[in-house]
Structure 1
Amino acid sequence: MKGRPAGGIAVAAALVTGLVAAVPGVAQAYASSATGTINTSGVALNVRSGPSTSWDSWRTVADGATVTLLCQTSGDSVTGTYGTTTMWDFLSNGGMVSDAYVYTGSDGQIVNSCVYVGAEPSSKTNPRSTNGAINWAFQRYRSTSYENLCLAFVAQAYGWGGSGWNTAEIGGDWEAGHGYLNTSGIPPRGALVWYHNSSGTGHVAISLGEGKVIGTSVSGAVGVAGYLDHGSYRGWSVAYFPAAW
């Protein structure tokens, strides 16, 4: 047990819409979001790019702050205020924190599991993993160096020198023409998220999951946005760069 007050469990249960009793062979349903309180006994908590203490710390959240959890995933084991856990919480700002420092009223999972994109074809495996690519992107948070280079940004995030396509419009066309473009559902974590734009060159970003993306051209720099905040949304695909170098 993490030492959370037992009375808080009832509060958490009230917040979790559709929570069902644990029955062998039956999956539990969790809430799509929930609130929690950061408890670090005074210091600010690092918000990281992924579920690991080795990933980039791109901002902090104050002790005592209320946060919104959108999903939970497993990662590095961390010992904190509420004991030791491998659970990490994805926050509404697009980052992750260890659940060991978040009071939710429960020692267990309370929101849906984070959904990751499927693997790219083995014929062209990316040099960098999903969380590795997102970490690379967050290391360039607020950088203006990639403006008008969105396609290079996502390709380099996944470890390539370049995508092999001249524009994101061409890349999106290729994904669509080869059956990789999905037009329904929220883009899963790690997916390439494709857009049309007024110039005809298109745009692409990387999904963080839960409706968030990281990419260029967010107030003129690399940043986090909603996946529908850019212009004309086309859909999402697995992170596949067939012509990358």
Structure 2
Amino acid sequence: MNHPHDRKARWALPRLVRGLLAAGAVTAALLAATATASYAGISGYSVTGTGGAGLAVRTSPYDAGASAVAVLADGAGFTTECAVHGRDVYGNSVWHQISSPASGWISDYYTNTPGFNQYIPGEPECGGGPPTGSREDRAMAWARSVLGQAYTNGDLGDSNHAWDGWCDNFVGHAYGRAASGYATALTHYNSLNGRGMIHTTGTPPAGALVFFNGAAINGYAGHVMLSEGNGSYLTSAPTVRRVSLSWPGAPYLGWSYADPEWPGR
């Protein structure tokens, strides 16, 4: 689908008006849910801003490669049962699990719901769906969602910059931090190594931070990337890409789980 205008700016005032107009529909849906034994879902909102391409209803809110089960045209209404924070779509990570007119997941970015990157008032958190139980799974789901991208798009509120040369910032983003807190990947490695967290044997598990020593190719700042747990790795470069366990001219140092203080997405 074509790149849309920034929804946050484009829809700021119209969304406020639509939110006020739709408040009655939301209230009615919530009252109906209270009056009955089961949650009835929330209706009264529709798809917008796709430029005629339509909004894919997907099988997962986390995987950029998730298949589409239907496509909803601009203006199509839907009923949402719950929401989660999944993969980022132009700064909006909210995904709604809908039950009508198809069953699956839609990105909040392409809807006229009242808040940007927010659940609909009264909309519950979806329970039981992966990868809610693991910060490593959430980190990898996000990292896969930005494969092929060259810029951050201001994700997590930091400045919009190229990924190239910002490897420690990339792994920090995967774990929900706008900045990693370290000057370089090598500084990060030295900190984790001093805490006894570095492993030098075995295949790094999914979500592990994989470090390389300082070398001319990385300005002697070191390098870090994310393990997928199967012998492949995600790294920042001119674009975010999948690579093998190597970095030309920079020796491999070992791997660690992410800093315990990092909250995850």
TM-score (norm 1): 0.47
Q: Normalized per residue, which structure has more strand?
A: 1
Question: Whose RCO is larger (CA < 8 A, sep 6+)?
Answer: 1
In the superposition, the TM-score normalised over structure 2's length comes to 0.43
* The structure with more helix, counted as a fraction of residues: 2
Larger Rg: 2
